[in-house]
Amino acid sequence: MTGLLLTKYSSSLWIGETIEYLGKVGKNQYKELPDKPFDKNNYPLPRDIISRTICKVGIPALKHLRECLYTGSYEQILEAIDAIGFISFYEYDNSRQNDIIILKVCKSH
């Protein structure tokens, strides 16, 4: 039990430090929305390498990604939304849905 708790604690610290690099590593991020509609029945793997890495942590990463929605740069927010969507889809967790909706409403005013 102690090992599991220590792992969760250290991954929590690691995620907080790693979020700083969302949208900054590599050149594979989306720059704009695609013209063609999304035609799949699964959620696509995030293109940003840091997002992909954070997604492997799963639900514990959502708290840090939520913070990024409110404090991150534009590029970080885009990648955080992508990571939240991926984790939420595969973990059946909609707990951050309202954060994204609120963010959309605030940005449109």
Domain assignment present for residue 42? The answer is: no
| pLDDT tens for the chain, residues 1 to 109 | 444 444 554 566 777 888 888 888 877 666 665 677 666 677 777 788 889 889 988 888 998 999 998 899 988 988 998 899 899 888 888 887 777 777 665 655 5
Nearest C-alpha neighbor of 67 from the set 47, 84, 85, 53: 84
Domain assignment present for residue 36? The answer is: no
Domain count, the chain: 1
Domain interval for residue 91: 2-26+47-108
Domain assignment present for residue 35? The answer is: no
Domain assignment present for residue 34? The answer is: no
- Are 50 and 25 in contact, with CB atoms under 8 Å apart? yes
Domain assignment present for residue 32? The answer is: no
Long-range contacts, stretch 8-16, CB < 8 angstroms, 24+ apart:
8/60, 11/57, 11/60, 12/60, 12/63, 12/64, 15/54, 15/57, 15/60, 15/61, 15/64, 16/64
Nearest C-alpha neighbor of 47 from the set 61, 60, 34: 34
- The whole model's pTM is what? 0.74
